[in-house]
């Protein structure tokens, strides 16, 4: 090698030795969610990424698949870093390999009611992002002059609606979250103070009432979620029972033609939907990584901010968990938002412990047996037996 070449390489080595080391690039994190208003999640994460030069990638999963996908991913050690999940998933924190969050990550501005959704076994298993997740009654003003206030009123209008090829009301009939509104109407609950309570007179009454709306042809019992929504959009269903997660999309798509009302009473009993929260949880593996943990903490701080909470509400009509933001929207709500808030106030908070997840499965199986001809009391007893058996298995692990 020539002297000139040797000198060049010596100079290059000197420059490299005195230069600052290149900073490692922040890791890219993945967030799974099944929120129907996915554009809200996309926008919040985009703002977070831009504000702090972070890299969080969003993957949307079908609502009916996300629980199974997370459980399978946990078994295969293939979990994403972050998961936006309904609060009743929190009871499966062990099976889903969720990590508890440090108490200091939670702002004093968070509503205590929202914190209850994530607190289990003296730990907090996620950060509430928005709350509500409750059912409401929507109606098409082109088909309905004034909304019903009692279920019994609907039967009188059914023949005229059916003559026009219009279904009276649509919702996914086999979805137990919708059935639970009937159960609470009769004073029952799937879980009471941590105990699964399915074999009750209230359950039998709710099953009979649920069968009545089908036998009177108020509802198509074969209707699923997408069909119910499509029929309502297309003017082929006068009423729709759906959740706050669909509220903003319905307003955008139907405009002044959309009416929003309280769920109808069953005779003199007010109808009570369940309610919950959407929670950002993190995997144990992600929390154990120092670099990822820093990004996770930054995101948890970001979503609690008052301005972000108000943005979530403005963008998707999803109720905030920050007390200041919730108070602000409660003081001057738009007419339709008054119903959103009133129905939320009347709703029953959903338990987050593992008993709730087990109760859903048992109700689903017992309802199938009821549909096949079992009596309401026998179906309620069968639900309880299944739930008790499954609960013992979970607790023994």
How many CA atoms are closer than 13 Å to the CA of 366, on its beta-carbon side?
A: 28
Q: Are 217 and 306 in contact (CB under 8 A)?
A: no
Q: Residue 349: beta bridge partners?
A: 275
Give the residue carrying structure tokens 């293939």. Answer: 78
Mean pLDDT of the chain: 92
Question: For residue 397, what pLDDT is reported?
Answer: 64
How many CA atoms are closer than 13 Å to the CA of 334, on its beta-carbon side?
A: 10
Q: Are 316 and 248 in contact (CB under 8 A)?
A: yes
CA distance linking residue 243 with residue 181, whole number of Å: 12
Give the residue carrying structure tokens 């990550």. Answer: 105
Percent of the chain past pLDDT 90, that is, above it, reads: 85
pTM of the entire structure? 0.88
**What's the CA angle centered on 185, arms 182 and 189, to 5 degrees?**
80
CA dist list (Å): 304 to 129, 328, 359: 7, 15, 31
Give the residue carrying structure tokens 């009509």. Answer: 317
pLDDT tens for each residue of 266-311: 999 999 999 999 999 999 999 999 999 999 999 999 999 999 999 9
Could you tell me the domains of the chain? Answer: 29-132+275-342 (3.40.190.10), 135-274+351-396 (3.40.190.10)
CA distance linking residue 190 with residue 195, whole number of Å: 8
CA distance linking residue 211 with residue 152, whole number of Å: 14
Q: Are 275 and 132 in contact (CB under 8 A)?
A: yes
CA distance linking residue 39 with residue 54, whole number of Å: 19
End-to-end alpha carbon distance in the chain = 70
Q: How confident is the model at residue 333 (pLDDT cuts 50, 70, 90)?
A: confident
Q: Which residues of 124-141 are buried (b: 16+ CB within 10 A; e: fewer)?
A: bbbbbbbbbbbbbbbbbe
Class of residue 254 by CB neighbours under 10 A (exposed 0-12, middle 13-18, buried 19+)? middle
Work out the average pLDDT over 96-118.
Answer: 96
pLDDT tens for each residue of 14-65: 444 444 444 467 899 999 999 988 999 999 999 999 999 999 999 999 988 9
Mean pLDDT is lowest, of 55-59, 187-191, 314-318, 382-386, for 314-318
Q: Are 359 and 198 in contact (CB under 8 A)?
A: yes
pLDDT tens for each residue of 193-237: 989 999 999 999 999 999 999 999 999 999 999 999 999 999 999
**Where are the alpha helices (H) located in the chain, listed in sequence order?**
3-18, 38-52, 66-75, 112-116, 151-163, 176-185, 201-215, 225-233, 247-254, 284-288, 290-304, 306-316, 323-331, 335-346, 354-371, 376-396
Q: What value does the CA radius of gyration of the chain take, rounded to a whole number of Å?
A: 25
Class of residue 17 by CB neighbours under 10 A (exposed 0-12, middle 13-18, buried 19+)? exposed
């Amino acid at each position: 090698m020539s002297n000139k070449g040797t000198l060049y390489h010596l100079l290059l080595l000197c420059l490299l030795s005195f230069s600052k080391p290149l900073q490692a690039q922040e890791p890219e994190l993945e967030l799974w969610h099944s929120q129907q208003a996915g554009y809200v999640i996309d926008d919040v994460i985009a703002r977070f990424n831009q504000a702090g030069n972070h890299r969080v990638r969003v993957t949307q999963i079908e609502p009916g698949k996300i629980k199974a996908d997370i459980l399978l991913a946990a078994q295969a050690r293939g979990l994403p870093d972050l998961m936006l999940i309904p609060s009743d998933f929190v009871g499966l924190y062990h099976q889903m390999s969720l990590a508890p969050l440090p108490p200091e990550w939670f702002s004093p501005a968070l509503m205590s009611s929202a914190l209850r959704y994530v607190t289990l076994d003296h730990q907090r298993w996620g950060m509430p992002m928005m709350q509500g997740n409750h059912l409401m009654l929507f109606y098409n003003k082109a088909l309905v002059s004034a909304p019903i206030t009692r279920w019994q009123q609907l039967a009188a209008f059914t023949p005229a609606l059916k003559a026009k090829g219009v279904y009276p009301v649509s919702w996914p009939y086999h979805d137990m979250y919708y059935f639970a509104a009937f159960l609470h109407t009769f004073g029952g609950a799937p879980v009471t103070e941590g105990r699964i309570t399915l074999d009750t007179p209230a359950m039998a009454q709710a099953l009979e009432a649920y069968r009545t709306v089908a036998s009177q042809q108020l509802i198509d019992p074969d209707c699923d979620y997408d069909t119910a929504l499509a029929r309502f959009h297309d003017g082929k269903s006068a009423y729709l029972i759906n959740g706050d997660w669909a509220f903003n999309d319905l307003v955008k798509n139907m405009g002044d033609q959309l009416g929003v009302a309280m769920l109808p009473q069953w005779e003199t009993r007010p109808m009570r939907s369940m309610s919950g929260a959407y929670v950002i949880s993190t995997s144990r593996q992600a929390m154990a990584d120092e670099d990822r943990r820093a990004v996770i903490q930054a995101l948890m701080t970001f979503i609690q901010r008052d301005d972000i909470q108000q943005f979530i509400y403005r963008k998707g009509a999803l109720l905030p968990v920050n007390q200041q933001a919730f108070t602000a929207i409660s003081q001057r709500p738009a007419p339709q938002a008054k119903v959103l808030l009133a129905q939320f106030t009347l709703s029953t908070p959903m338990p987050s412990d593992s008993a709730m997840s087990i109760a859903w499965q048992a109700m689903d199986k017992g309802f199938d047996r009821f549909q096949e001809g079992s009596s309401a009391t026998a179906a309620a007893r069968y639900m309880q037996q299944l739930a008790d058996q499954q609960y013992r298995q979970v607790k023994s692990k």
